[in-house]
Every structure is written in C-alpha cells, then in structure tokens.
A and B are shown apart, each in its own frame.
Chain A
C-alpha cells in the first residue's frame, strides 16, 4: 500500500493553483520565496542536512511518513519543517525537551537574542564560506561500479505489482503506485545510482542500474488516457521491473 505523497494519477484535485494577470495570462514571475518563513524553513533544512546525520532519501521518507492528516493539511514548507523536527529529535541533534522549551519561548515572544549570541559553532556545522563550494559539488547519486545492466534499450518490461521495498513494510520506494504492474519499454540506461529503497532506511547505498522506462498513456490510464499516442517516462531501478515475456 502506498502513502499520500504517491499521488500521480489521483482523481479529485482541482485546477492548478496559478496566478493570472488581468488578461487572464499565467504569471510566470513568482518570487523565489513567497514569505520569509518559507525561505527560512528551506534554508534551515538545507543547513541541518549538511550536518551529515541523514541523506536525501531519509529526509524524503520522513516527509512521506508524516501522518496523513498532517501531510494533507500542511503546506509545502510546513511538511519540510515537520519532517526536519522529527529528524532532529530521532537523530539526537536536539531533544524533545529542547523543542518544547523553544516552542514555549517562541509562543510567549521570549526568544531572547541573547540565546544566540557568541555561540561556538559545532565542528560539523556548514559554514557560510563553504556554501558555494558545497552547492557546486551537489550530491551526485551516480556511482562507479562493476554492475552490468541486465536489460537493454528496447526491452519490453513489466513493473512489480507491489512496493519493491522488500526489507521495510511501508518502506521508501520511488516506483509510484500508478506505474505498478504496468508494461513498458526500456528507453535508456543511466548507469548505477544509489538505491533509495535501502538508502532511505540507513541500509546502505546499494548502487543499482537505473533506467528510463517508457509507458504508453493508455497502458497507465486505460480509457481515461487523453490521447493514444501520449507517453509517460519514469526513471526506475532494475529491481522495480522484470522482462515481459508475454
């Protein structure tokens, strides 16, 4: 079974929330951050991530594991912040009591600037002088391995019917439900990449061949497909599908 984040193809969502100008033309100049707190939530999440206590897949999984009610009610950056809070406590960077203390201080408008004056930075802390360098490196998921891809371009494949994550119930995976049990074709091979299914649970990077798989819209959506010629492409790891011998 899936979680709420796995929403591709879901019915019930309304019009795309777009800003239109007086001529009813879509505005394409939204500011980077709409509110200061969006910018802060985003930057604090990046800076905390740089402490090295979790990886990208773990932080994604924490967002996905928010209770359904919260996942639906929270705006985008509220999800980030909630997941970050849970990570900070689980990874013991802060304690629950510290969270409660600072929440009380915030609520009563008592976050004294003295609290953050002349603080000695932790050895792991991401320094401003290293920001550009670290951003430029990024965090590539491509790994150099001796893996030989099993499949070749043009192979007919069929995806698994269920969550490919065999190790963890309800565990992280990047095979969306809408593409489970579907026939597709290998479009390209992209080398071996860190496998989110293990990496999200701290069970190692397990570099695994990654392919781009082409699906016909009519295979995914049946008679609801808009046009029989339309295609959908997904980037899927080798264990997510099998050769389709039918």
Chain B
C-alpha cells in the first residue's frame, strides 16, 4: 500500500503512480486505457486507425530514400539539403511531426555519421517513420556514443580507423538524417532505381546502401 499522501505539486508525482494499478498483460493494459478514453469521448477511434495506417503505409524510410536519391542525382538539391534540410525535404512534401527542424549530415570517404538519441528515442518521423526496436533499445542508446565502432561492427559495418566517426546525439528537437555515399557502379541508374538502394539503416548511419547488382 502506498501510505504517502500525494500533496505535492502536479509535477512531483513520484509517490502517486496510477500506472501501478494496470494489469500485467500489456495487451489488456492498452485495451483498458483505450476503452476508457473511448467511452469518455476523449479519443476518436477513427483517429487511431488513421494514425496507424499513415505510419504503416505512407510515412517511412521510403520517404528518406527519395530525398537521398534526389541528392545523389541533383547537385543543386544536395546543396540546398545540406544548407537547409527542412526546406529541401519539404520540396518533396515531407514535413511535420518530429521533423520540424531537420539536419542532414553527409558521409564522405573521410567521415562517417551515426545518429542516436541517448535520452529517449528522437527520430526523424517524416522521412524515416517510427524507429525500429534496436534504435529504442538501452543497448543502442547507451553504447552508440561511447563505442560507435563496436556498435557498427555488430551491424556488419567495419569503419576504417582512418575514417572519422561523428555521432549525433539528438538531445533537442533537431532531427538528423544521414546522407550516405552513392554506391559505386550506380552512375547509370535513375533516381527511382537509386532510391531502392537506400536502406533505413544507411540513413541512420548503422548501414550502407545496397550494392549495385
């Protein structure tokens, strides 16, 4: 029993945990809260469907891949992207929630960029969608800043010791997208073909684009 009276101000809620009353099965927990909010008219069931459908089908790494492919074929666009990523990405109609202030960092033969959020799981939603499980894991969040090379090797990516690694810890509301290097042998490929080579992990810095077959 929690014997302590909660007479603190609203932001000091350490002694009063409503969540401790939730059932242990997370599925039941969600169901209970969802039904309660629906019964009070505080959420619209169609809104939940619309949100889930949007991020399952329309907003995801396929968007970022188009940004990257365009930067590979269009030098002026690449310049705009590196100078003002938010505007350049908006040219392709990707904008909004969790991508309000975008920064694009470019990989070169000398520099490899990696993105992490050590404090939570900040991620550029409009271009990459919802982060994968590993990105939200304690393992990635704790280790990526201290031993990025070892972490990348677990992804199968071995970075030469002469290449400098830059880790970007998303501690504010800037959201980072890595511009990977264009794969060798892709000179004759169209923008649409190039976009298919761009993997999600290559835009976080934990992978590379697919090789040209």
- Using a CB–CB cutoff of 8 Å, the interface residues on chain A facing chain B are 5-18, 24-26, 28, 30-37, 39-44, 46-48, 51, 58, 60-63, 65-67, 70, 75-78, 81-86, 88-91, 93-94, 96, 98-100, 102-103, 105-107, 111, 115-116, 119-122, 124-128, 131-132, 134-142, 168, 174-176, 178-179, 190, 193-194, 196, 200-202, 210, 212, 217, 220-221, 224, 226-227, 229-237
Contact = CB atoms under 8 A, between A and B. Distances in A.
Given A15-B154, A82-B19, A232 B145 contact: yes
5 contacts: A37-B30, A94-B42, A98-B40, A126-B47, A201-B11
A83 B44 contact: no
Contact of B118 (A7, A32, A91): A7
B55 A227 contact: no
A82 B169 CA distance: 25
Dominant SS at the A interface? mixed
Given A8-B119, A102-B35, A232-B145, A122 B41 contact: yes
Contacts of B37: 44, 47-48, 88, 93-94
A230 B167 contact: yes
Nearest to B154: A16
A111 B18 contact: no
Interface residues of B, number: 94
Contacts of B23: 103, 106-107
A212 B174 contact: yes
A136 B170 CA distance: 21
Contacts of A190: 101, 172, 174
Contact of A81 (B13, B30, B36, B119): B30
Contact of B40 (A94, A126, A227): A94
B54 A132 contact: yes
A226 B41 contact: no
Contacts, number: 336
A43 B26 contact: no
Nearest to A70: B19
A136 B95 contact: yes
B148 interface: yes
Contact of B28 (A83, A106, A121, A226): A106
A31 to B, nearest CB: 8
A137 B96 contact: yes
A127 B44 contact: yes
Contact of B26 (A6, A65, A81, A231): A81
Interface string B53-93: 01110011000000000000000000000000000000000
Contacts of A44: 30, 33-34, 37, 43, 48
A120 B29 CA distance: 24
A197 to B, nearest CB: 12
B18 A128 contact: no
A176 to B, nearest CB: 6
A83 B19 contact: yes
B90 to A, nearest CB: 10
